[in-house]
Amino acid sequence: MNKNIFREYDIRGIAENDLNNDSVVEIAAAYATLIQDFNSNSVLIGRDCRLSSNRIFDIFASTLIDHGVRVVDIGIITTPILYFAVNNYDIDAGVMITASHNPPEYNGFKTMVGKEVLSSAQIQKLYEIILSKSFAPKSEKKNSIEKLNVLDDYIEDITDNINLNKKIKLGVDCANTPIGGFVKSVFNKLECEALTLFDEPDGSFPNHHPDPSVESNLTELKKTVVKNKLDFGIAFDGDGDRIGVVDDKGNYINSDIILLILAKSILFNNPGATIIGEVKCSKVLFEEIKSLGGNPIMWKTGHSNIKEKIKNAKAILAGELSGHIFFKDKHYGYDDALYAALRISEVLSNTNIKLSDIIDKIPKRISTPEIRIDYSEENKFKLIKSLKKEIINDIRDYDINEIDGIRIENKNSWALIRASNTQPALTLRFESNSIENLNSIKEFLSTKLNNLTGEKWKF
């Protein structure tokens, strides 16, 4: 068993190696053991359309049944549909078989007990159960797999509180993911005009990689929006919990700016509300929320970290640069890209101002996209620890934030470097009020990093 597949907030690895049949059996047995400690004995299971998902589902489900667990199959769906089902049906737990935005050869598990995703400590507990082989005993009683169709209820739920004051025209890049099977019916229900791209689910993702945070993946969406004079465009990741947005001019919009637009709308009706952004988000987001009377909180990256913070801080909106947007306002507090798209549509339906003009009024900073550098799974966290010591010894005029990785900041600029929890990689981002100051902070961080690694990275 590869320990590295047990990550901060999910389990994820190469499907044919890390999640071979024997490994899936052990992970399922460990999960059955863990949930029974919570007196849970029924599990909803959904899966994405990856080529390995059906194989993994069959083995995972049959193993749960061997351990006396009731299994309810909700089919090929998105992760938010699983979250919806766990919140609305009398089932104790949930599992989504997915590798989100990773390449086709990956797969994994997003796991829940009750209405909560497993914490990092609980995910590591699964690995400990596997190591010790301390599985719950098998049951003599063998249930059959039950099937449940939750799609109609889900569509009714996400559209019920959306009020559009005019018809919205948008482009929808489904990226050959499960959302393509039903997304058009959602927008038709709201009398929107939705032009869909790549809506046939295909786990090989033949048209482009299903990661909407990478601008180059949205090339066709941009063309569609501009050519057809649409209000905006949206794109989804592999399991439908992350959104990418293109404005009416075909410009890619960073998700922290989309979060700010949504925050302004929510603060209008909820003065003083708490809103969370993760450590990669723009300084503009936090400053603007504060200026509008909101309570901004900077927090750790990762959907399970954000969900926990929403609950503890009583926040009603949160988001990540990667495109996860979480609504507690009129919703459940989890990340649903399609629901986020409906809330963006609602904002635009209440104004005659185009999305590009709304964005033009937001204070400008010069920022990089999220930068990813391949770096070994075994050494990435060690490097961040060593880099932290180097920076603390030579901090200059920067403040240091250690919530998640290292974020250094002064009045002009900030930079972040952290170890990815989903890939063998480092992630970085830089932002400043001028090119000169941006280059200065890039040089500071790259010099420190290159001295430690012997590399010649230049950002």
CATH 3.90.650.10 fits 366-453, yes or no: no
Positions annotated as catalytic residues are 100
- One fold for 170-250 and 254-333: yes
Average of per-residue pLDDT across 140-157 = 94
Confidence of residue 392 (pLDDT cuts 50, 70, 90): confident
> What is the percentage of the chain residues whose pLDDT exceeds 70?
100
Question: pLDDT at residue 394 above 80?
Answer: no
Express each pLDDT in 119-129 by its tens digit: 889 999 999 99
Q: Which range (86-95, 101-110, 176-185, 301-310) has the least confidence?
A: 301-310
pLDDT score recorded for residue 141: 82
> What is the percentage of the chain residues whose pLDDT exceeds 90?
90
Contact 320, 299 (CB under 8 A): no
Q: Which CATH architecture has domain 170-250?
A: 3-Layer(aba) Sandwich (3.40)
Tokens matching residue 191 = 């009398």
Checking DSSP bridges between strand 42-47 and strand 70-76, what pairing results, if any? parallel
pLDDT score recorded for residue 421: 80
Report the Cα–Cα distance between both ends of the chain, in Å, rounded.
Answer: 36
How many Cα neighbours within 13 Å face the side chain of 241? 27
What are φ and ψ of residue 298, in 5° steps? -95, 130
CA atoms of 286 and 149, how far apart (whole Å): 41
Considering only CA atoms, which of 245, 99, 112, 122 is closest in space to residue 172? 245
Average of per-residue pLDDT across 434-445 = 95
Question: pLDDT at residue 331 above 80?
Answer: yes
Residue-averaged pLDDT of the chain: 95
With H, G, I as helix, E, B as strand and everything else as coil, classify residue 361. Answer: coil
pLDDT score recorded for residue 395: 67
Contact 177, 194 (CB under 8 A): no
Confidence of residue 336 (pLDDT cuts 50, 70, 90): very high
Contact 409, 420 (CB under 8 A): no
Question: pLDDT at residue 2 above 70?
Answer: yes
Q: Which CATH architecture has domain 3-150?
A: 3-Layer(aba) Sandwich (3.40)
CA atoms of 295 and 181, how far apart (whole Å): 38
With H, G, I as helix, E, B as strand and everything else as coil, classify residue 31. Answer: helix
Strand order in the sheet with 317-319: 295-299, 274-278, 317-319, 325-327
CA atoms of 359 and 116, how far apart (whole Å): 35
Q: Which residue ranges make up each domain of the chain?
A: 3-150, 170-250, 254-333, 366-453
CATH domain 254-333 topology: Alpha-D-Glucose-1,6-Bisphosphate; Chain A, domain 3 (3.40.120)
Express each pLDDT in 57-109 by its tens digit: 999 999 999 999 999 999 999 999 999 999 999 999 999 999 999 999 999 99
Q: How far is CA 181 from CA 176, 177, 243, 253, in A?
A: 9, 8, 17, 26
